[in-house]
Amino acid sequence: MAKRFKTVGITARSDIAELEKIVKNVVRILEEASVDIRLDSKRCLLPTLRHIARYDHVSELDLLIVLGGDGTILRTVREMDDFTVPILTINRGTIGFLTEITSSSMEGMLKQFLMGHGKIEERSLLSVVALRGKKKLWEGKVLNEAVIAQGAISRLIDLKTSINGDPLAVFHADGVIIATPTGSTAYSLAAGGPIVHPKMKATILTPINPHSFTQKPLVLPAENEVEVTILTKQSKFSDVHVSLTLDGQTYVTLERGDIVRAKIAKQTVKFLRREEETYFTTLRSKLKWGERLQRVEKDD
């Protein structure tokens, strides 16, 4: 068996049912392929696999296998220290929009990938920084989106937005979403944003329930930097607040005058995929495109 990857790491969602059994099965397949195996030192502390070496940094690997759903993938990407290492995803979640291998096809497909079959698909990352004066509240990269929004109470907020320093608009809205093409099928889509093919280099700016009907989503060239300044005033409602949410998992509380800047990063995240096109298949299966037509054809 020709080896494309010498050192392969495994990370997983820690609360997966029968996690140890699933990881042991993956380890068995990797051992049969004679690759060097490393387990996530934080999330794969499994008693029966103590003999397997651990990894602390993705840079130690040639390939990283992720067991979980989209949330696990988003967390993994956000924590990566080396974006040159490709990711192979095995779905153990619910929808699994970003995942490549299903549980039922895992053994056969994993062996094929280890033999060198498959292609590398690059996805854009969004580089985000949140500032309070000269202080950095948060800085990092996300795969899907950065969301600036009001809290649980339904109160509109004012967000002054500019592109490359050129004023665009003050959005009087529930918030704004700054998304990558990968993130265009996540929260941005639910807020009325467009679906953008992940191979495109672009940033999607989607206002959330804007007060003005003329403020619509924008698709911007990747080299553009979006800057959002929080203009929300002090309110008598103590539960009105603004937050920055990164990929739906990391939260930063924002105040009046805070600034969020976002731009497509120079680095890309690399996914190991099947050689055939799967994106449109994913749209049909996960978003139920064409479902009504199929029902009509069956009725005929």
List, for residues 183-222, the tens digit of each pLDDT value: 999 999 999 999 999 999 999 999 999 988 889 999 999 9
Q: Which three-class secondary structure state does DSSP give residue 126?
A: strand
Residue 20, pLDDT above cutoff 90:
no
Specify the CATH number for the domain of residue 84: 3.40.50.10330
Rounded to an integer, the average pLDDT of 163-180 is 96
Q: Judge whether residue 296 has pLDDT over 50.
A: no
Does residue 257 share a domain with residue 179? yes
Q: Kindly state whether residue 2 falls inside one of the protein's structural domains.
A: no
Evaluate whether residue 76 is within a structural domain.
yes
**In whole numbers, what is the pLDDT of the chain averaged over residues?**
88
Residue 158 and residue 70 share a domain: no
Residue of 159, 138, 128, 136 lying closest to 225 (CA atoms): 128
Same domain for 16 and 142?
Answer: no
Q: What percent of the chain shows pLDDT beyond 90?
A: 63
- 141 and 92 in a common domain: no
Q: Is 166 a catalytic residue?
A: no
In a domain, 17, yes or no: yes
- 154 and 20 in a single domain? The answer is no
Q: Let me know whether 81 and 36 are in one domain.
A: yes
List, for residues 44-91, the tens digit of each pLDDT value: 888 889 899 999 999 999 999 999 889 999 999 999 999 999 999 988
Which pLDDT band, with edges at 50, 70 and 90, does 237 fall under?
A: low
Q: What is the pLDDT, as a whole number, of residue 288?
A: 72
Q: Report the pLDDT averaged over residues 132-138.
A: 97
Q: Is residue 177 in a domain? A: yes
In a domain, 1, yes or no: no
The three-point CA angle 8-13-16 to 5° equals 115
Q: What is the pLDDT of residues 239-271, one digit of tens each?
A: 458 999 999 999 999 999 999 999 999 999 999
Asked if 258 and 279 sit in the same domain, the reply is no
Q: Is there a domain that residue 245 lies in? A: yes
User: Which residue range is the domain that position 255 belongs to?
Assistant: 125-267
**290 and 257, same structural domain?**
no
- The beta strands (E) that lie in the chain are given as 7-12, 36-40, 53-55, 63-68, 87-91, 119-132, 135-142, 145-150, 157-163, 166-173, 175-179, 202-208, 218-221, 226-230, 242-246, 250-254, 259-273
User: Cα–Cα distances in Å, from 103 out to 127, 129, 163, 222?
Assistant: 32, 37, 43, 35
**Residue-level pLDDT at 243:** 94
- What is the per-residue pLDDT for 300? 46
296 vs 179, higher pLDDT: 179
Among candidate residues 36, 40, 56, 70, the one labeled active-site is 70
Segment among 40-54, 94-108, 157-171 with least mean pLDDT: 94-108
Counting residues of the chain whose pLDDT is more than 70, the rounded percentage is 90
Beta-bridged to residue 149, according to DSSP, are: 175, 243
Q: What is the pLDDT of residue 103?
A: 73
Same domain, 73 and 201: no
Number of domains making up the chain: 2
On whether both 129 and 260 belong to a single domain, the answer is yes
* pTM for this prediction: 0.89
pLDDT score of 106 more than 90: no
Domain co-membership, 65 together with 156: no
Asked if residue 231 is part of any domain, the answer here is yes
Residue 261 is part of a domain; what is its CATH number? 2.60.200.30
- C-alpha–C-alpha distance, residues 292 and 161, integer Å: 39
Kindly state the DSSP code that residue 97 receives in the 8-state scheme: S
- Does 145 share its domain with 104? no
